Amino acid sequence: MARSQRGHNIIVFTVFLAISAILWCVIAFNGEAQSDVRMPVRITHVPDSVTIVSQVPRTISVSLQARGTQLLRLAWGGAPDFTIDFRMYHSDRKRLSLSEPDLKGIARNALDGANIVLISPDSLRLVYTTQPPVLLPVNADYMVTPGPQASITGKIRLSDDSVKVFTAGRLSSSVEAITTEPIRLTGLNETVTRRVALVAPPNSKVVPDSIDVTVEVEPLIFKTRKVTVEAVNVPHGMRLITFPAQVTVRYMIPVSDYKDSDPMLRVVADYNTIGDTHHSRSVGLRIVEASANLQNVHLAADSAEYILEQL
């Protein structure tokens, strides 16, 4: 087919198409175009005695004009680091101060001399300190509630019970602990762990800046128990006897306590309730004491028949 006129025409067309594509690529790559990149921020040559207190931006947004070949390298290799040399920009006022020309100059050097059109932020003011840190305890700001068939066991656990606080000035005497951001969890049916940020005091930095908060949750099991009724408020010289002498108490208890625990339960028959019930020969029953690990504690019957004996 290549020796035919049609095959010859196809070959010629393909060759010219390839040459055109190559020429287009050369022109396109040598021409300038505009693009936006995010450059990761990195601060170098920071002395061991220095801690940056201000929040350092993770990236710097740069809008640049560059040749197509430069933009292609950026697309394939990713944006280079935006490297700030601490030695060049620190001052006696314990600050790193970079103006818009400073930022554009750093970006231009990292991007092989590309023309920087816009940069954001357009300035940086980073406060640092050489003071040693203060160790403060961590308090959790939390409000958690279990689901209807679960129970929260004990206090919540923190991965760090104290943190280092670096400050550029004097830490306020009113700051006695570091607090987590508010934790609000409802309907928990299993143990959960959340990474929670810490709230730093003004002009301070907390290390670490977040901790793991664990709320231990376990399921509840339904259980019943017979409890002897105790008479109270009975006049002197009389005895109140209930029928039956024991009443069934129903409650829910955590799985871990189901077999080993002997929960405290106290049920009383109150002489003062005689006459308040619908039945003339009934006395009211109520639970006056129950172990803290029990949930949904209630009586199978809220009254019992009785007799009064003269002593």
Map out the domains of the chain with their CATH numbers: 29-129 (2.170.120.30), 134-215 (2.170.120.40), 220-310 (2.170.120.30)
Angle, CA 131 vertex, CA 130 and CA 133 arms, to 5°: 125
pLDDT for res 159: 95
277: helix, coil or strand? Answer: coil
Q: How far apart are CA 109 and CA 83, in angstroms?
A: 10
Q: Quick one: three-class SS letters along 71-95?
A: HHHHHHHCCCCEEEEHHHHECCCCE
DSSP H or E stretch at residue 23: helix 5-30
Q: 269 near 241, Cβ under 8 Å?
A: no
- b/e per residue 41-70 (b: at least 16 CB within 10 A): bebeebeeebbbbeeeeeebebebebbbeb
Using CB atoms within 10 A of its CB, is residue 103 exposed (0-12), middle (13-18) or buried (19+)?
A: buried
What is the DSSP track for 222-263? EEEEEEEEEEESPPTTEEEEEESSEEEEEEEEEGGGTTT---
The DSSP annotation for 136-182 comes to EEEE--EEEEE-TTEEE-SS-EES-SEEEEEESSPPPTT--SEEEPP
3-state class (DSSP) for residue 198: strand
Which of the four pLDDT bands, split at 50, 70 and 90, describes residue 47?
very high
- Average pLDDT of 137-158? 90
Classified as helix, coil or strand, 17 is: helix
The pTM of the full predicted model, rounded to 2 decimals, is: 0.68
169 or 11: which carries more pLDDT confidence? 169
pLDDT of residue 195 exceeding 90: yes
- Of the pLDDT bands very low, low, confident and very high (cuts 50, 70, 90), residue 288 is very high
Over residues 215-234, mean pLDDT: 92
Query: What tens digit of pLDDT does each residue of 244-270 get?
Result: 999 999 999 888 888 766 789 999 998
Whether residue 23 is predicted with pLDDT greater than 60 in this model: the reply is no
Does the pLDDT value for residue 166 go beyond 80? yes
